Amino acid sequence: MVTSIDTNQTVVFDASDSARRSTVNFTGTGGNLDIQNLSAQKPIALTITGNFGQNISNVLTFDASDHLSISKSTVNYNNFTKQTVITLIDTRGHFLGTVTLSGNTYNLGGGHDHHDHGPHHNDPWHHGPGPGHGPGHNSITVPLKNISHFNHHHEITVCFLADSMIATPKGAVAVQDLHAGDEVLTYVDGEASVSTLSWAGMAHCTVNPALPDDMAGYPVRILANAIADGVPYKDMLLTAEHCLFFDGAFIPARMLVNGSSIFYDKSITSYTYYHIETPDHAVIMADGMLTESYLDTGNRRSFTQKGNVIQLGGAAKSWQTDAAAPLCVERERVEAVFRQITARTGANWAAPATVQNPELHLVTNTGATIWPANCKNGTYNFMLPANTQEVHLASRASRPADVIGPFVDDRRQMGVAVAEINLLSAAKHQAITAHLQTEKPEGWHATDWTDCAWTNGNAALPLPAQDTQGAICMLSVKIRAAGPYLADDTAQDVAAKMA
């Protein structure tokens, strides 16, 4: 079975209701193959032909609700067969199928292409052509996450809101009034020059208040004079991921939110946002503030194009190779800018109240909650009922970006750091090491450590059935580190968020 996708066409491939072995042929540009309902019970064997490669704007889309793991899934290019194979694996390690493409579609071996602004649960994500990483051997394999772009509310949004005033040779123009072919001012080393817009787009956002503020979609409001006198010259509204230009580098607006002069405007829960693109990523001026033009890292398809389109766009670009200036998310540099801006308000920014107690406990495969029988020197001992096949290590969990400050670019939910785990019965003493393996159970963060791993506050731990069958056992868990946690992030709150 061969399905064709024409220019700017989207085709849904329902893995549950399609032939297991299928071929999709891209005949134009700007097309999208949307793969849904992946299942270990019916793995796919999909072949992509036609216009799909490093300089083509066609993309694949997957649905994260299928529990596809971009860390466990892989992309392999074989120099002998001249084929790229994407192997799809879910979060529990189950095989979901393969997607085979001709040639070195993602330029594996050409440098790393992944800047993760932070994952968003149960939102779709997509990937398009872009470089991978590694040496030029006959075969190279990388995690799927290295070529993917995870997004929220269709895509990561990096945009201006209406009435942002963009500097042009004719004066300031509202962003919604700009179209492809219009001229804007761009800046290099403080010197202004003229650039012609190659593309302009718009999209709509509806806030999801169930998510953290920085991921919910709330716009960031930067008050007039927040950065310096006259900068910006009026209140500025942009999306959380939009970058501002400081001392030769771009810093995401979300990392500068201080709650006073820069804050999430929760009075705005639905809005239209706008992108303007120059031929090359550039420093532009909006509301008197130096910021960025659009960098297409793979989310162009979520926008409605405005006016006469000059360029449909090619391969997804990256911060590493295509940005007008480096992306800066390092704490030391960002925190210095954050505190300088906050000092202008005359108020001292204070981190939120925190606690250290992780409230560590177990939840068994039958749903029973087990609290530790005792704890000494970081070792928690739990008595397990007979026939316990799996437990979840449940605890408080908070994000470093919330606990320490937004100038920390770590938005993972961090529970406890677990070292040794031992299962003890009357007949046997056995080390449990599933959390230390490369392929970890659900709820464990990937790490380069070999003797310790962090949970996300609700981490699965399978137990050997032959050792717990008919036997009451003790599970001994050594905690290497825990906390701090937001005072209002209880273990029950974490469990509810992950249910």
The pLDDT tens digits of the residues spanning 40-60 come to 888 898 998 887 765 455 677
Q: pLDDT value at position 328?
A: 95
pLDDT of residue 342: 96
Given a contact cutoff of 8 angstroms between Cβ atoms, the answer to whether 152 and 217 are in contact is yes
- Side chain identity, residue 296: D
pLDDT digits 0-9 by tens, 105-133:
766 654 333 333 333 333 322 333 333 33
- Tokens of residue 15, six digits: 């893995």
Mean pLDDT over residues 73-86, rounded? Answer: 84
What pLDDT was estimated at residue 354? 96
Label residues 170-208 b or e (16+ Cβ within 10 Å = b): eeebebbebbbebebbbbeeeeeeebebbbbbbbebebe
Q: pLDDT tens digits for 273-328?
A: 888 999 999 999 999 999 999 886 655 444 454 443 333 334 456 777 888 899 99
| Residue 192 reports pLDDT greater than 70 | yes
Contact by Cβ (8 Å): 38, 62: yes
Based on DSSP, count helices (H) and strands (E) in the chain, helices before strands: 6, 38
The DSSP output letter for 341 is: H
**Amino acid 495: pLDDT:** 56
Domains of the chain: 2-110+137-147 (no CATH), 160-345 (2.170.16.10), 354-486 (no CATH)
pLDDT tens readout for residues 399-447: 999 999 999 999 999 999 999 999 998 888 999 999 999 899 999 998 8
**Taking 90 as the threshold, does the pLDDT of residue 171 lie above it?**
yes
Q: CB neighbours (10 Å) of residue 448?
A: 4
Give the span between the Cα atoms of 9 and 13, in whole angstroms: 13
Query: What does residue 210 show for φ and ψ, rounded to 5 degrees?
Result: -75, -15
**Token code pair at residue 332:** 């030391």
pLDDT tier for residue 256 given thresholds of 50, 70 and 90: very high
Distance CA 438, CA 448 (A): 9
CA dist 164 → 109, 252, 284, 492 (Å): 40, 17, 12, 42
The 8-class DSSP code of residue 468 comes to H
Question: What contacts 118, CB < 8 A, 6 or more positions away?
Answer: 150, 214, 215, 411
pLDDT of residue 473: 94
Q: Which residues contact 2 (CB under 8 A, 6 or more apart)?
A: 22, 23, 24, 25
pLDDT score, position 63:
64
Question: What's the predicted TM-score (pTM) here?
Answer: 0.65
**Per-residue pLDDT, 349:** 86
Least confident interval from 81-85, 304-308, 322-326, 347-351: 304-308
- Of 71 and 355, the structure prediction assigns the larger pLDDT to 355
Interatomic CA distance for residues 336 and 342, integer angstroms: 10
Give me 352's structure tokens: 């939120």
